[in-house]
Structures are given as C-alpha cells and as structure tokens.
Amino acid sequence: MHNQLLILFIFYRFVVYILTKLELELVMVIEFNREELEQVEKIKSKYPQAKAAIMSVLWLAQKKFGWISDDVKKYVAELLGLYKCIMHAIGRRRTLFSFK
C-alpha cells in the first residue's frame, strides 16, 4: 500500500511538473446545464427585476462550482443582464458565500 501511494504521488508531481513546463492552465468551465438554466429562469420569474434574483442565483452557482470566483460572478452577471461590478459589490458583503 505504501509503495502504491508513493508511485501515485510521484506520478502526480510529474504531471504538475509537465503542466508547469508547458505553461498549461487547467480551466474550469463556468456554465450551468439546461436544468440549472431553467432553475435560474424560474428564480428570475419570481422577482420584478433580475437584480432581485442575485442572491438565489449566486447560491445556486456556489452549490455547483463550490465557491464564487470572479469568473462565476461574471457569468451570473451575464445571466441576469447586470454589470459585474454590481455582482462584486453585492457578493463581497455577504458572508454566506465562499470567496477565494
């Protein structure tokens, strides 16, 4: 078991080294699937303005992506037809979201 873990660790370090040398970046795709987009539309329909749906959609985004990055904020802002600066101002003041 110890040898298997050692081999796995060495392989992991090798992959990280190669990716670093090739200057490749692992990019997470920030996109909701069809069901989640339908859920966003359902959330938006509950409010008179899209801006009012920010907290619910951010919560949905955090549930999917694990945390709210700048790219996630930009994606949610585009979905709701808002400016990213509004998303940043609202999101930063909330402690129920995880920012890194």
Instruction: Go through the domains of the chain in sequence order and give each one's CATH number.
Output: 34-92 (1.10.10)
Instruction: Confirm if 30 and 65 have CB atoms less than 8 A apart.
Output: yes
Distance of CA 93 to the CA centre of its chain: 18
Average pLDDT, the chain: 80
CA distance 63 to 66: 6
Q: List the one residue out of 28, 79, 34 whose CA is nearest residue 56.
A: 79
CA distance 94 to 100: 13
Lowest mean pLDDT among 7-11, 18-22, 85-89: 85-89
CA distance 49 to 54: 10
- Pair of tokens at residue 85: 């600066």
Q: pLDDT tens across 41-88, in order?
A: 999 999 998 888 988 998 999 899 888 888 888 899 899 988 766 666
Q: By three-state DSSP, how is residue 96 classified?
A: coil
